[in-house]
Amino acid sequence: MNESVIKAGIIGSGFAARFHFDALKRVFSTKVEVVGAYSRNMDKLQQFTSDRNIQAFEQLEALIDACDVLHVCSPPVTHEPLVLAILQKHKHAIVEKPFTGYFGDGSSSFNGDTFPRQTGLDHTLASLKRMLDAESSSQGRIMYAENWVYAPAIQKEREVLEKTGGQILWMHGEQSHSGSHSLAYGEWKLSGGGSMIGKGSHPIAAAIYLKHVEGRSRNGSPIRPKTVSARTHAITRMETYDNKGHLQTHYKDIEDLAMVHIVFEDNTVANLFATELVLGGVKNRLEVNANNHRTVCNIAPNDAMQAYTPNETYFKNVYIVEKTETKQGWSSISPDEGWFNGYQHEMDAFYRSAAFGAPIESNSSLAADVMATIYAGYVSAEQKGTEVAITTL
């Protein structure tokens, strides 16, 4: 494109839309003009746009026509039709996670505990194929908004792999915290699953991404996931769960703990965890064990800054870190949480790709591998951990 100013539009008006807008302020590779936003919720749209002095678009098509890059920050059930509409007009689509998925059969009786998981996998693979086919016919590109890929620690490991020719032998990692406050997250028809997709998508994506990097560096093509074994559990929905009030418990038909074992095409492995059952703030971590090095990527928490107070009232107006239950005692305070999580790096990389044609690190191939792995993982979990083949597109 090589435009002097890239025009951006935001689809959505909630949490993701807000942090996308904030991250755009730190794009330095090219100039970005946020033209406006579109949302079905007109009240939230008016508030979102007026607070940021951008235009509120009443028609999606008008926003797409006015922009070069569209940020898909709407509920995941809307992602596929939005991406198809954007690509049809040869515009770029930055798509939040989950990229796509299965959100039920549309009936009022749908229950995430009881539907056949193969149905979810089949639906997701068909959705992925439609999105990838649309991209192949478009001048626009899909940019998968997986911030872990662009977290400085993960990008440093990418450099290590490329410069040393290292072979990753095994990885383990996790995302965990005390649970989402979003009521929509607790229903499969709104979220597409529980911990495996809502939190596990991050370490799963990072692990698959690094094997893609290794394969391209060593052999010229990505090393992709081959099989998955998984278990899921709904601990806080057990009758015997003793609720002390510290964990979120509003989940209706999703899991709150997931364990995933991935075998890659070269028979190396990754063990990844995701859960809503961890106190003390968010834990975002990936450890890489290679044949010539070992790295521990502590995205959060890390010891960049640590703080102590004998009484949390002193820190009443001080932001410490996401999802911490108390500010009293020692805290791993984050001086720039967005930076460590890769949000501004992600947006800068996407706009560098849009403006100058730079390769997209978090691309549609990665997104497809992640979603195929997760929904094959749900099939495995339904079968109590049976190894299931992953269909790569």
DSSP per residue, 243-258: --SSS----SSS-SEE
Residue that the structure tokens 């998968």 belong to: 144
Of 340, 310, 303, whose CA–CA distance to 326 is shortest?
310
Q: Are 40 and 59 in contact (CB under 8 A)?
A: no
Which portions of the chain are predicted below pLDDT 70? 1-3
- Angstrom distance (rounded) from CA 339 to CA 1: 27
CB 5 within 8 A of CB 33: yes
Residue 54 is encoded by which pair of tokens? 């951008």
What is the crossing angle of helices 117-136 and 364-382, to 10°?
Answer: 170
**Cross-sheet strand order for the sheet of 283-290:** 294-300, 283-290, 168-176, 269-275, 257-264, 225-233, 388-389
Residue 288, strand partner residues: 171, 295
335 forms bridges with which residues in the sheet? none
- In a 13 Å sphere around the CA of 122, the CA atoms on its Cβ side amount to 7
Q: If we measure between CA atoms, which residue out of 256, 310, 304, 311 comes closest to residue 278?
A: 256
What residues does 176 pair with on adjacent strands? 275, 283
Report phi then psi at 95, rounded to 5. -115, 125
Strand partners, 329: 309
Of the candidates 357, 343, 388, 374, the residue with the CA atom closest to the CA atom of residue 208 = 374
Residues 141 and 367: their CA atoms lie apart, in Å, by: 13
Helix-strand-coil split of the chain, %, nearest 5: 40, 20, 40
pLDDT at 1: 54
Q: What pLDDT, on a 0 to 100 scale, did the predictor assign at position 181?
A: 77
Helix (H, G, I), strand (E, B) or coil at 183: coil
Task: Give pLDDT, residue 76.
Answer: 92
